[in-house]
Amino acid sequence: MKLNKFLFISIAISALLTINSCTDLSETVYSELTDETVDVNDPEIIGYMMGEVYAQFRFMYWGWNGYFDVMEECADTYMTPKRIGIGWGDLYIPMHKHSWNSSQGHIDGLWHYAYVGIGYANKCLDVLPKTGTEQAEMRFMRALNYYVLLDAFRNVPLETTQIHEAGYLPKQVSGEEIFAFCVEELNAIKDELGTEKHFGYPNRFAANMVLAKLYLNYNAYFNKSDNSYFEKALAEVEAVIKDGGYSLAPNYLDNFKEDISQSPEVIFALPLDFTNARHNYLVNKCLVGAGAAAYGYTGSPWNGSCAVPQFIDSYEEGDNRLKYTWTGGVQKFATKDANGNTIPQSGDPIPFSTDDWAGQGVLNYNKNVHSIDNPGAYQQEGYRFVKSEIVAGDEGTYGNDVAFFRLADAMFIKAECLLRLGRDEQTAADLITQVRARSFDSAAKAVRTVAQLKGGSRYDYGHREYTSEGYANWDPASYIATNEGGADIVLGGLLDDLAWEFAGEHHRRQDLIRFKMTDGRNVFNGKSWFCKNATTETHWDYFPIPKSAMDANISLRQNQGY
């Protein structure tokens, strides 16, 4: 049983404690149950409320347009184009093009679920003892939510209690204050969290990881150049690597199976379950019906998201993470057809297809994609994301656990800090090589040198778009292209390795913002990819405060640039 003990939430308690507004954290009572009629000090009721804290974080991550989309849709690896004859587009096009505004649906959900989770945590902390594991867990989850909010918005309300006078409105504070609060909280509870490993629950090493992420991104958050924060991040991950007792999973995909509770690499996870905690819609969002049938999935996928072609081209020869993460070309039955037959697929044929296609209408995902919206993508265009295990039957990816932090991440942070600090650089290269080794059949090809990590990126950056219509029409005259390359990215080789290792793991947006080019711009703004253009503007590094939150709380001030 991989679900944690707080999974099953009381409907009555949920109704009692639901927070109606993401900025007004007061209670909305939908029944006769109130604090006067329910003993909030009752251990069972506290347990239910603690369970809601974990549940809301799952909703934040996998709610529609959730944290996964927030971190991946605006980056250079993954996108959801307008599908010609199907739909999609709408919210996803501005995410890809970096043209969002305060009405962007993705940020509404992120803000809402984070503050609902914070509200539940505060409700628990208002009545829990001031010491002990339970209060430490709640403070960890509250700080984790604030880390997510800081990363996304910078300046947000800081709330540490649910006890307020009538008419109270949360007050916005600076990103620096949110950062300081998270650091203080996590350092205060490290010891009380302990070092035991209970799947789905935080321990000391999970706190180390959040601190390491905060320190690693400090300069990017606040436009500083203070190496002392890399020293601090290094110290946090050293504790994880040396004392945590974690080890790399023998197989890369062990970290992305339906049940990852036995992976020795996972530091902090979000447990999911098809029956009781169903999330993760990637099997439907990414695949075509026949493509999902290749894995034995019996649902009806929606044919949406796919890989950015330039990212597929960036993989090195022999890197099995390409096939572990993406499926492309002619699809064959993986679980049901012992003869390896190709899969019939109605819809448009595909140009550039192999002889295996032979005009028979089999499913053949083409790496190339016309555009994000002009005209968009035809039905079989784009490699599809399959890194999260697709379970046969009607489960798909819906019950798959999420490895929120894993040891490979700690090792990469250590390597990055050493390279940025300019010391023990061979140790940094050895760490990356160690992580890569399980994904290459050739030990020699898995090796990464210091020069490679410090050199430019293999990613062929630049705007690349066909505006011609028709699935077979790749008219060169309609091709819009700029050629920017990746040679001018500082530590570009390391940025590449981060993408190959952590594609689809809520990593890429943050990494692109942190890494810079020689002209001082970060990669997130300074490079073009597919239909997204380079810019000198910097406010895209964070999102606007959602319009819904601004409307609900007159004390909020919109972020600069929006």
Asked whether the predicted pLDDT for residue 346 surpasses 80, the reply is no
- What are 63-81's pLDDT values in tens digits? 999 999 999 999 999 999 9
**Distance of CA 109 to CAs 74, 178, 272, 344, 404, Å?**
16, 20, 19, 38, 19
Asked whether the predicted pLDDT for residue 23 surpasses 50, the reply is no
pLDDT for the residue 62: 96
Closest CA to 314 of 491, 443, 461, 451: 461
Question: pTM of the full predicted structure?
Answer: 0.91
φ, ψ of residue 150 in degrees (nearest 5):
-60, -50
pLDDT for the residue 225: 97
pLDDT for the residue 331: 85
Asked whether the predicted pLDDT for residue 18 surpasses 70, the reply is no
Is 302 strand, coil or helix? coil
pLDDT for the residue 39: 59
Asked whether the predicted pLDDT for residue 329 surpasses 60, the reply is yes
Is 327 strand, coil or helix? strand
- What are 354-366's pLDDT values in tens digits? 444 344 467 889 9
pLDDT for the residue 130: 94
Tokens 């297809």 sit on residue: 353
Spell out the domains of the chain, with CATH numbers in brackets.
1-173 (1.25.40), 281-396 (no CATH)
- Give 339's pLDDT tier (boundaries 50, 70, 90): low
- What are 238-256's pLDDT values in tens digits? 999 999 999 999 999 999 9
Asked whether the predicted pLDDT for residue 308 surpasses 60, the reply is yes
Alpha-helical regions (H) of 194-265: 204-216, 218-222, 228-243
Count CB neighbours of 7 within 10 A: 18
Arithmetic mean of pLDDT, 125-151: 97
Count CB neighbours of 15 within 10 A: 13
Asked whether the predicted pLDDT for residue 343 surpasses 80, the reply is no
Of 173 and 30, the structure prediction assigns the larger pLDDT to 173
φ, ψ of residue 233 in degrees (nearest 5):
-60, -40
- What are 424-452's pLDDT values in tens digits? 999 999 999 999 999 999 999 999 999 99
- What are 464-495's pLDDT values in tens digits? 999 999 999 999 999 999 999 999 999 999 99
Query: Angle at the Cα of 276 (from 108 to 41), degrees rounded to 5?
Result: 75
pLDDT for the residue 333: 72
pLDDT for the residue 44: 75
Task: Supply the mean pLDDT for the chain.
Answer: 90
